[in-house]
Structure formats: C-alpha cells, structure tokens
C-alpha cells in the first residue's frame, strides 16, 4: 500500500529526474529572489550554505531509502549513479541560480531567472498533479503551465532592459535557454530510464543526444515560446524605460520665474 511505503524527501526515480532538478532549482530561485528582496551583509553566503546543506541532507535521506531496496549488481549501481548525477546537477544549478539572482546586476539576475524557468515549470506541473491528481488537472492549467517558462523569461528580460554587453548577453542566453532547456530535460529523463541504464553509459549518452536532438528538431512550440518571451521583454522593457523617464522628469525641481 502507498501508505506503507518509506518516506523520501526527494522523488528519486528514473521517471522523475526532471522533477528532481526542478524541485532543487526552484529552491535556488526562491532563495535568490528572497535575498535580493531583503539584502544584507553575509545574507547571500548564508543563504547559499543553508540551501546547500538542506538539499544535501534531502538527497542523502532519499538515497538512504532508495539504495537498500536495490538488488546488488552492476545495473543497480549504474541506476543509482545516474540519479546521483541528477541530484548533483540540480544542486549545482540551484547554487548558480541563487548566486546570479541574489545580488548581481539586473542582467545577471535575469539570466538566473531564465535558467530556472523550465525547471520551475516542471516542478509546478508536478505540484498540480499532486494537488488535483494525475488525471484530474484542469486542461486550462496545463495550457497555462506550458507557457510559464516563456512568461518568466520575458518578465526577467523586461526587468533587465537592453543596452550594453551584459544585457545583450542576458537576452541571448535567456532566449537560448528557453529554446534548449525543455529538450535537455527530456534528454535527461530518457537517459536515466532503467532500460537505458541497463545498456551502459554509452547507451545513456546516445539516448540523451538522440532525445535532445529530436526535441530540438521540432520548431513548435519552442519558437513560439521564444517569440512570446522576446515580445514580453521588449514591450515590458520599453514600458519600464518610459515610466522611468516620466518619474525622473516629475522629480526634477520646477524653476520659478
């Protein structure tokens, strides 16, 4: 029975590597934005250490549940190694997102949000399934969720603005990540599947590359997501710039004649 199964802090499974990455990266984004909102001396370093400690403990606890249930052998070792690599990747990305969004310039923070956009959407999808049930999630919510990475990236680019090398890099990297990340997450999910792991590391790499290439070869909906994010960034950035100019003019002292 499900109630009798051991409790785990992370959903370690060959079916959920993208969910694990999404959960870990979402924590990094939340911590980074919180630190940026409430800055202070040593806050970012403390948040980074706390996040690393929390996620490491969660991963160790999850593996303490997973490993005893595996049959000894090469297949089990490869399976666990693939999940360890998944967790390490997620923890590293979470630290990178936190560092970029916490106290860097706006263009670097925008890159951090763009890096986290697709993993956050993956985790939100899992949360919806846990809330409504796997087959009971309303269709409109799935439709909205599919566009969450583009919305997050577009808002981040609007906040970043344009002009200068840093902002140009944020735009280029942000839109490139929006195009690549869904395909990369699909590749990871396919590569760590048990039937792939059983065929060895070479098969895992081949499966990852093939699945990623297949996803990238399909222009829709990736191109639409990139177009939406770019549109939001342009319109939002222009709006912020206009409002900023009006605010600066209103703040200027009026000369009396």
* Top-confidence residue, 114 or 254: 114
Predicted confidence (pLDDT) per residue in 11-42, tens digit: 898 888 899 999 999 999 999 999 998 877 78
Q: With 0.95 as the threshold, say if the pTM is over it.
A: no
| pLDDT above 90 (res 75) | no
Residue 182 lies in a domain: yes
Residue 61 lies in a domain: yes
Tell me what pLDDT residue 254 has: 47
Residue 254 lies in a domain: no
Tokens coding 35: 């630190």
Contacts 24+ apart (CB under 8 A), 190-196: 191/82, 192/14, 192/17, 192/79, 192/82, 192/83, 192/86, 193/14, 193/15, 194/14, 194/75, 194/79
pLDDT class of 3 with cuts at 50, 70, 90: low
Residue 151 lies in a domain: yes
Tell me what pLDDT residue 226 has: 95
Q: Name residues whose C-beta falls within 8 Å of residue 43's C-beta, 6 or more positions apart in sequence.
A: 35, 102
| pLDDT above 80 (res 172) | yes
Torsion sign, CA atoms 36, 37, 40, 43: negative
Residue 119 lies in a domain: yes
Q: What angle do CA 197, 126, 27 make, to 5 degrees?
A: 90
Tally the domains of the chain: 1
Residue 257 lies in a domain: no
Contact status, residue 141 vs residue 128, Cβ threshold 8 Å: yes
Candidate from 55-64, 141-150, 174-183, 194-203 with smallest mean pLDDT: 194-203
Contact status, residue 77 vs residue 93, Cβ threshold 8 Å: no
Predicted confidence (pLDDT) per residue in 117-169, tens digit: 999 999 999 999 888 887 788 888 889 999 999 999 999 999 888 878 899 99
Residue 255 lies in a domain: no
Q: Tell me 11's DSSP state.
A: -
Average pLDDT along the chain: 87
Which structural domain range is residue 95 located in?
Answer: 7-249
Residue 137 lies in a domain: yes
Rounded to the nearest 5°, which phi and psi values hold at 192?
Answer: -95, 10
């Amino acid at each position: 029975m499900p109630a009798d199964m051991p409790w785990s802090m992370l959903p370690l499974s060959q079916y959920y590597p993208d969910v694990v990455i999404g959960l870990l990266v979402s924590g990094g984004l939340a911590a980074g934005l919180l630190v940026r909102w409430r800055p202070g001396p040593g806050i970012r370093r403390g948040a980074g250490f706390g996040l690393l400690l929390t996620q490491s403990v969660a991963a160790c606890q999850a593996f303490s549940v997973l490993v005893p249930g595996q049959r000894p052998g090469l297949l089990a070792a490869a399976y666990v190694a693939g999940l360890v690599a998944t967790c390490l990747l997620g923890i590293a990305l979470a630290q990178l997102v936190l560092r970029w969004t916490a106290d860097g310039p706006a263009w670097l923070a925008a890159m951090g949000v763009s890096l986290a956009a697709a993993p956050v959407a993956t985790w939100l999808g899992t949360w919806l399934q846990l809330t409504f049930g796997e087959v009971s999630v309303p269709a409109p919510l799935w439709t909205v969720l599919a566009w969450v990475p583009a919305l997050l990236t577009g808002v981040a680019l609007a906040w970043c603005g344009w002009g200068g090398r840093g902002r140009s890099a944020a735009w280029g990297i942000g839109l490139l990540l929006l195009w690549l990340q869904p395909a990369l997450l699909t590749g990871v999910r396919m590569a760590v599947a048990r039937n792939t792991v059983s065929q060895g590391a070479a098969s895992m790499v081949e499966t990852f590359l093939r699945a990623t290439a297949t996803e990238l070869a399909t222009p829709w909906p990736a191109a639409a997501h990139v177009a939406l994010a770019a549109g939001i960034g342009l319109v939002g950035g222009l709006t912020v710039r206009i409002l900023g100019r009006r605010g600066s003019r209103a703040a200027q002292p009026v000369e009396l004649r």
